Structure 1
Amino acid sequence: CPPTLCADVYMDLEYRKQWDSYVKELYETNIGGKIVVYWEVKYPFPMYNRDYVYVRGRRDMDLNGRTVHVILAKSISVPEIPEKHGIIRVSNYRQSLLIESDGKNGCKVSMFYYDNPGGLIPSWLINWVAQSGVPNFLSDILKACKKYPKKT
């Protein structure tokens, strides 16, 4: 997947609702001049879903003649999006994503990700995310890139 296409797919929240099976609810809204994202993530039964409220930004940078796409996100608290009953709010979330060319027709992705999901997370779920969740997500986003309707 070319790096610009990967970054476009990652930033397109409307499209993400189609390909990411863990999305329960996802939208952007303008609050006080800031674009704020609300994202509810489906968790397996009997656990409670989690939701995130965050700001994010994308910068396409030229580093020594190569384009690097940088996406930063961090949680924010806004009274306009209150917590919902039965959903655990993830109030401490940060993500830094760098997408660049692999020198061929694909891309390399580097990510720093941190969140405190709250509650008690069973060890089997933590192990699944570490072993399968991230590779499955990368596979899903690659499939989404191939089917992206807004290819340039």
Structure 2
Amino acid sequence: MLNRNWSSFLFKQVALYRNFRQNWSRFKTKAVLYSYSFYRGDRRFGKFALAASTAGFTFRDHGISDDRIAECENCEEEFAHRKTPGKGWELLYEEKDMLAFRRRIDGPYEMYEYKCVGTYYDISPRTFLDAQNDLKYRKEWDDNIVTIEVVKEENENELIRWVSKFPYPMYPREYVYVRRTWVSEDEKYAVLDSESVQPEVFPSISESNVRVRSYTSRMSIRAHSNWESHGVDYILTYCDNPEANIPRYVYNWMVNKGGPYFLRQVHKAAREIESSGREVRSATEKALLRKNDRVLQRQTKENEEKEKKRNEEETKLNNQENEGEKKLEKPQKARSTTASTSFVLQSEQVNYQRTA
């Protein structure tokens, strides 16, 4: 009877836990939206709403994975074919030191991803990235931003909320995405990889914006010489669904022109940083620290493998020496036995002669 009651109790607890997990995201979304409508006039609510939305969010579960970042090691090959990408990419736009491509995405709707490749000779890779990473500075030069902020940060990972203007009469678009920065060991390549976070994971805090569920962006750069010197190549690949019933050809025109226009703005902002000597927040510093950790871990692993190999070779050599000594000892014992046998035979022969 006791075992039956205990099993029933455990079953109820498991059912309650599963029900809680299934309804937690829904409850969190409703709670945030209700609080927003109730405390809309209170400026302090914004921080509270963001904190409530991040409850349960972890970069380990919802961030850019290590396997995906490991693909950045192929940057050299990507840049080798950047002007002729192939694989379904078609050239859309061309100007001095810039090319724009597009490629259709498989699916029921006419969706495309876009790629912009180019070169800047008058800015350094560091300022090119910092102009994008410093969100406070970006608010100054990007006129399409309503608001943009880092909600959560952990090492080289960032959770960002970005509200962007859209042409009237459409509502602003809200992007919530994770971004991870990677720097190669020789500090010649860097990647900013971004992907949207679903509303079930991070609810919207305003009903006046349209949440964009599908958004990816990947900025790869290559330094001509080093991190601080002028000269940088870039590849920007991006795709998003604006969640709007607008003609597809209009949207494609907007996205096609949007990439080159954004890059021209970044270039102008980077030049402003260098000419004015302005201090900006650099998210790449943490990526550089992470790179140093990777190098240290790799060197430690290599040293451990070398030490292990050396110990194995020493052990093998000692075993060979021991076996050699044993082989040398065996013939000596055989000779001594033969000599003693011969001595006994000779003694017996002498005794026989004396007897005779």
- Could you say whether these structures have the same fold, taking a TM-score greater than 0.5 normalized by the shorter chain as the test? yes
Rounded to whole Å, the distance in 2 between the matches of 1:137 and 1:50 is 17
Change (3 A) 1:31 1:3: closer
Return 140-149 or 93-102, whichever deviates more. Answer: 93-102
TM-score, scaled to structure 2: 0.38
Residues 1:68 and 2:189 aligned together = yes
**How far 1:102 sits from its partner (Å)?**
4.3
**More deviation in 26-35 or 104-113?**
26-35
Q: Pick which of 6-15 and 119-128 moved more.
A: 119-128
Aligned residue identity for 1:127: W
1:117 correspondence with 2:242: yes
Higher Cα radius of gyration: 2
Matched, 1:51 2:155: no
> Which digits, 9 at most, give the CA deviation of each residue in 1:66-86, with x for residues without a partner?
611111111113665425223
- CA drift of 1:127 comes to 1.3
Contact 2:204–2:211 under 8 Å retained in 1: no
What is the CA-CA distance between 1:138 and the residue it aligns to? Answer: 1.3
Structure with more strand by fraction: 1
* Within-5 A mapping of 1:1-150: 1-30=123-152, 35-62=158-185, 65=186, 67-77=188-198, 81-102=203-224, 105-122=230-247, 123-130=249-256, 132-148=257-273, 149-150=278-279
Q: Per chain length, whose mean CA-contact separation is higher, i.e. which structure has more relative contact order (CA < 8 Å, sep 6+)?
A: 1
Amino acid at match of 2:236: M
Higher helix proportion: 2
| TM-score for the superposition, normalised by structure 1 | 0.84
Change (3 A) 1:32 1:60: closer
Is the partner of 2:260 in helix, strand or coil?
helix
Query: Displacement of 1:125 after TM fit?
Result: 4.4
Report SS of the residue matched to 1:70: strand
- Segments of 4+ moved more than 4 angstroms: 31-34, 78-81
CA contact (8 A) 1:56 1:72 kept: yes
Unaligned runs of 5+ in 1: none
Within 2, Cα distance between the matches of 1:4 and 1:86?
A: 36
Contact 1:56 1:74 in 2 (8 A): yes
Other structure's SS at 1:16 match = helix
Q: Would the aligned equivalents of 1:68 and 1:99 in 2 still touch at CA under 8 Å? A: yes
Q: CA RMSD in A?
A: 2.6
Quick check: 1:97–1:111 contact (8 Å CA) kept in 2? yes
- What is the percent sequence identity of the aligned residues? 28
